[in-house]
Chains A and B, each alone.
Chain A
Amino acid sequence: MLIHDQSRPGRRARAQAPRQAPAMTEIPEDLRRRAPPPLPAVSEMQVVRHYTRLSQQNFSIDTHFYPLGSCTMKYNPRACNSLAMLPGFLARHPLAPDSHGQGVLACLHELQEMLKAVTGMHAVSLAPAAGAQGEFAGVAMIRAYHLAQGDQGRTEILVPDAAHGTNPASAVMCGFTVREIPTGGDGDVDLAALEAMVGPQTAGIMLTNPSTVGVFERNIGPIAARVHEAGGLLYYDGANLNAILGKVRPGDMGFDVIHMNLHKTFSTPHGGGGPGAGPVGVCERLEPYLPVPLVAFDGETYEWQTERQRPDSIGWLTAFGGNMGILLRAYVYARMLGREGMVRVSEFATLNANYLLARLRAAGFEAAYPARRASHEFIITLKREARELGVSAMDFAKRLLDYGYHAPTTYFPLLVPECLLIEPTESETKEDLDGFVEAMIAIRREAEEDPEKVKGAPHDQPVRRLDEVRAARQLDLAWKPSTGSEKGDG
């Protein structure tokens, strides 16, 4: 039942609005609304009960193992939330003077410095509001750099075929043409194909390392050398930074510009799909182009730097300079981990992934890249199960929900058939990993004995499989007061 269906005219949460509504005589009649907006009219308790019940219809890290590949669903420490929500931080207006923000600015400056150190980059801006915005900023800096060199002919960005969809989309938003590089059979970039594509038209290459197929790109040295030799720049997609945190630094691998997903590696909440934070780091020659604002510190006072101090900046990405509350959560997490803790993140994320892979292989599941170590994540392919039992990766994923495990990422990357991309993260116990393996074995047994049970899954969730074709064709995107729901063919 929607909150709208519980609405009754005349009811409201009376404690929550100002006592009186002053007359609005100064606002001309023709600019006023004819009737109040049709928002739900409900009591405070109805609101609390409704949204508490809705929350109970979600899987979450706090309730379930969530091995969602490429998403790094690790534990979100509660202290990060409560300390970022201290009243002094929440009450600060974005346009308050720096004099009334030395506390928050100190945290942000130290976060900038820690991110520089752990990635090996020359400078960091915290401005991008999410990974995709970090990508946009990174590619925009590549563009700004080449234009500043008077190099107008660099119109292409190279992207591996297995890359996240945001990579090509971000490159296009910056006005580039995207060329896809094939992935070799061992999971590494196909060097011969790369060689054929690199040239004076190459603005840069966007890489994730470890890559989206869950292995470390061993040829990163030669790739960096080749692209740099051709005058291009290297972009690091930090989606998989959790795998190498404190072990290998993108700056040492030769990357010129990177973004980090703090909602992955630095454990800020996913919140049902955001907010994220996507800081960017750069090498020295790209520093002038960083998005503003940045926090500067003269040894005594912290201050925001804007385009006034940084005239070559690619500019602002949001009105007020970024998701400060998320950055504060990441700061608390980074300080609690410290330098030893950061290294342990990648070590235990990698241990958990390789253990889970070893156990699944021992149970007869097929690894997509059996000759390779797993990074913090790995791919198994269910093509044999699909062929012999008629049960797809999607069916396994849906049945896992009934066993109390969130599904791994399915059908990404697209080049591996019937794939599950599995990322356990460092915060899971051995017992939870063992439980997941047992569930996978049990589901395969069901697929052999009673395949319809798996194909019809899930059975124990609030709803069964949803008709997505109907959802896209008979668009019902909003409740409407007149008809109860909006119907039509959009």
Chain B
Amino acid sequence: MSKVKVAILGSGNIGTDLMYKILKNDGSMELSLVAGIDPESEGLHRAREAGVGSSHEGIKDILADPDIKIVFDATSAKAHIQAAEQLREAGKMAIDLTPAAVGPYLVPPVNLNEHIEARNVNMVSCAGQATTPLVHAVSRVVPVHYAEMIATVASRAIGPGTRQNVDEFTRTTANSLVKVGGATTARAIPVFNPAEPPITMANTVYVAINEKDFDFDAIKKSINDITKDVSEYVPGYRLRTEPIIDYRDTPWGRLPVVVIMNEVEGAGDFFPKYAGNLDIMTASARKVGELYASHFLQKEEVQR
């Protein structure tokens, strides 16, 4: 079977974990290059060790290889804005793991098909990947008036980029709950907990419904279904308990609120298992890459 050549731009922790995930899962992608800027970096060292091509000249070698069709960008928002332009001109598809959001938000079980021809897609945020599907699971059954999510993450699994810009994290995640999840309005609140041993990523999603009649069994089934969909590409993604209905006082009156408690345990590919927040980013990006790669191969097939 032919494969699509892909590359990872950025040899930091996210890039490295993504590399292992692509290598571990045999599919339509062939990882041909990991590009960083420091030849002595652990990520590039590990790429060489794994027999993957490596470059310390940033995006240069990626652009030079016309066979590379898909590029995962695991650098920074600032770097991606420049890279996005170069990749577009070179005719390469970009999967953006930074907060730059040049392209539309992509959450695999929700809106992948809507953007199947997109040339640049954004992976939102860890909490966005974890909770947008859950809000969508409710909104496809009954209109969602307001969604709120609390993401509790081990302090050790939060890098300096997020720490210096919590505003961006909350804004991006809440936007995703609205634009992709289907809520009318939304809030996203992160909590960084330094407990030892480190806690596994835990998300609580409150979904307020402003309808008199709704079928809770259908909502529960929808949530269970989507949890299964996500767990196919993020094996440690699960519900902590069955969703419950709780009545809460809100500015819109006393409303039924679906409370969904979720946890995300990482696969332990490169990150420790508690860092489910990082794992879900790389696992989702791999899933998206895989789908674009097979879509690409299908199109090639048709053209022949």
Answer yes or no: do A and B interact. Answer: no
Q: Which residues of B contact A (CB under 8 A)?
A: none
